[in-house]
Amino acid sequence: MTTSVHGPADESAGPSGSTGSTGPSGAAKAPRSRGALVAGSVGNFIEWYEFGVYGYFATVIAAAFFTPAGGSEAEALIRTYASFALAFFFRPVGAALFGRVGDRVGRRPTLILVVLLMTAATTLIGLLPTYATIGAAAPWLLTLLRIVQGLSAGGEFGGAVSLMTEFAPPGRRGLYGAWQSFTVALGLLGGAGAAALLATVLTEAQLGAWGWRLPFLLTLPMGLAALWLRLRLEETPSFRQRRAAPAAPARETVRAVVLGAGRLMGWSAAGYTFLVVMPSYLQSVLGASFRQALAATVLANAGFAAAILPAGALSDRMGRRAVMVSGAVVAALAAFPLLNLLQDPAAPAAVKGLAVCGAGAVVGLLAGPGPAMLAEMFPTRARYTGLGLAYALANAVFSGCAGLIITEAVERTGSADIPAYYVAGTCAVSALALATLRGDDHRRALRD
């Protein structure tokens, strides 16, 4: 039985259960809802663009920051992924810290603060001196900025999803929440596109010397645009109505956070394995070139992006449980066939491309309804903190560690099937947790 108990369904809330009767009029609410959608989405785009760029340039960053004299490329790559994982482990800290502020002070001011932190940290990464310039201080400075990114990213998700779902019109909470995941896909695609473009127009020497910095510096104008949009934002009706309510019971919130993380673990593991870790895996294990690996990743992210919004909209009609359980089961069953196909040198490139695109689409079935599913698990007075923590914990353990676990396991065992074991196992457990969802959660009101 799920811990996200809602009580009686609010029949006056419309088919999605969105609370709208006490909020602004329908005519006034529509542009506010769209504005909230844009303001929430742009911060997510920047966050995941940067994390995508870091993942795609992992081998280049390893050479620049984590390769002292005598160090091996494999050791440097593992250290790079360790820094990647560390940022993810600070996400729950950021989710708890900024979530508490967001549930007490408001969604708007908190989201302004986190986008400022993310923009500053990412821009500074593009300006950092490398190991060759300042020695051992370089990886430490990079890691410090990754920690700041982790804190701000932890505060981004809970606020953005709260903003989108609390402003969502009746019957469209799944679709509005899906925009969070859709901008994740756009961010990853943007990062992959920037990496692919630079790999095409620059030589390997130029890329390693200074070209890798350009995608990080591009965050500055994007961050300023996000700041402008969020400064124009209004506070959500749900928060204005419930800001004086007592805090939610801690035990209930903790149970829901743990369950929410379990429901997300398949999405987190499969998403990062297929969409971010794949370039380094294809290069280091299967011998693909940098450009081939990026092409495969772009196709996977294109499939991911194409499936997200339809999956979110479908969950508004069929329910979150039906769509997300289907995605987890298919991902678990498809993991080994996909990897075996990629390992087959005789398989046509077009077939491989179609397969990785399909793998991305399967992850989209989890990512589309996921934000709305989380928002429906928590009351307004704990929503920012609760859903942010559930998401951050799942990502810290199953996304942030994906590259480190897969790279280290392949290095130790010599098995090229490690990514398939990882995806199949986590998605199987996630499917069981998702099966505890109510079938009618999408029709119920967001909890007060």
Give the tens place of pLDDT for each residue, 298-318: 888 889 999 999 999 999 999
Question: What pLDDT sits at residue 5?
Answer: 40
In this prediction, residue 436 has a pLDDT band, given cuts at 50, 70 and 90, of very high
Written in H, E and C, the secondary structure of the chain is CCCCCCCCCCHHHCCCCCCCCCCCCHHHHHHHHHHHHHHHHHHHHHHHHHHHHHHHCHHHHHHHHCCCCCCCHHHHHHHHHHHHHHHHHCHHHHHHHHHHHHHHCCHHHHHHHHHHHHHHHHHHHCCCCCHHHHCCHHHHHHHHHHHHHHHHHHHHHHHHHHHHHHHCCCCCHHHHHHHHHHHHHHHHHHHHHHHHHHHHHCCHHHHHHHHCHHHHHCHHHHHHHHHHHHHCCCCCHHHHHHCCCCCCCHHHHHHHHHHHHHHHHHHHHHHHHHHHHHHHHHHHCCCCCHHHHHHHHHHHHHHHHHHHHHHHHHHHHHCHHHHHHHHHHHHHHHHHHHHHHHHCCCCCHHHHHHHHHHHHHHHHHHHCCHHHHHHCCCCHHHHHHHHHHHHHHHHHHHCCCHHHHHHHHHHHHCCCCHHHHHHHHHHHHHHHHHCCCCCCHHHCCCCC
Residue 408: burial class (beta carbons within 10 Å; 0-12, 13-18, 19+): middle
Between CA 184 and CA 318 the distance in angstroms is 24
Tens digit of each residue's pLDDT (9 = 90 or more) over 70-97 = 456 666 667 776 776 677 788 899 999 9
Question: What pLDDT sits at residue 314?
Answer: 97
Between CA 132 and CA 437 the distance in angstroms is 52
Question: What pLDDT sits at residue 296?
Answer: 82
Q: Are 200 and 327 in contact (CB under 8 A)?
A: no
In this prediction, residue 3 has a pLDDT band, given cuts at 50, 70 and 90, of very low
* pLDDT score of 25 more than 70: no
Tens digit of each residue's pLDDT (9 = 90 or more) over 336-369 = 999 888 888 888 888 888 988 999 999 999 999 9
Question: What pLDDT sits at residue 88?
Answer: 73
Question: What pLDDT sits at residue 390?
Answer: 96
Question: What pLDDT sits at residue 249?
Answer: 73
Domain 25-443, CATH 1.10.3720.10 — does that match?
Answer: no
Tens digit of each residue's pLDDT (9 = 90 or more) over 113-168 = 999 999 999 899 999 998 888 888 888 898 889 899 889 988 999 999 999 999 99
Question: What pLDDT sits at residue 96?
Answer: 94
Q: Are 292 and 282 in contact (CB under 8 A)?
A: yes
Q: Which of 30-39, 177-186, 319-328, 336-345 has the lowest mean pLDDT?
A: 30-39
Between CA 214 and CA 56 the distance in angstroms is 13
First-to-last CA distance in the chain? 21
Query: Which tops the pLDDT comparison, 407 or 245?
Result: 407
Q: Are 112 and 227 in contact (CB under 8 A)?
A: yes
Q: Residue 38: left if φ>0, alpha if ψ -120 to 50, beta else—which one? A: alpha
Mean pLDDT calculated for residue range 239-267: 84
Degrees to nearest 5, angle at CA 212 with 53 and 65: 95
Residues 6+ apart with CB under 8 A from 230: 39, 43, 108, 111, 112, 115
Residue 288: what residue type? A
How far, in Å, are 82, 135, 203 from residue 67 at the CA level?
14, 10, 20
Between CA 363 and CA 303 the distance in angstroms is 9
* Residues across the chain: 448
Mean pLDDT, the chain, rounded, equals 84
Residues 6+ apart with CB under 8 A from 366: 264, 266, 267, 270, 271, 311, 324, 327, 328, 331, 430
Question: What pLDDT sits at residue 52?
Answer: 75
Between CA 73 and CA 61 the distance in angstroms is 11
Question: What pLDDT sits at residue 254?
Answer: 92
Tens digit of each residue's pLDDT (9 = 90 or more) over 211-235 = 989 999 999 999 999 999 999 888 8
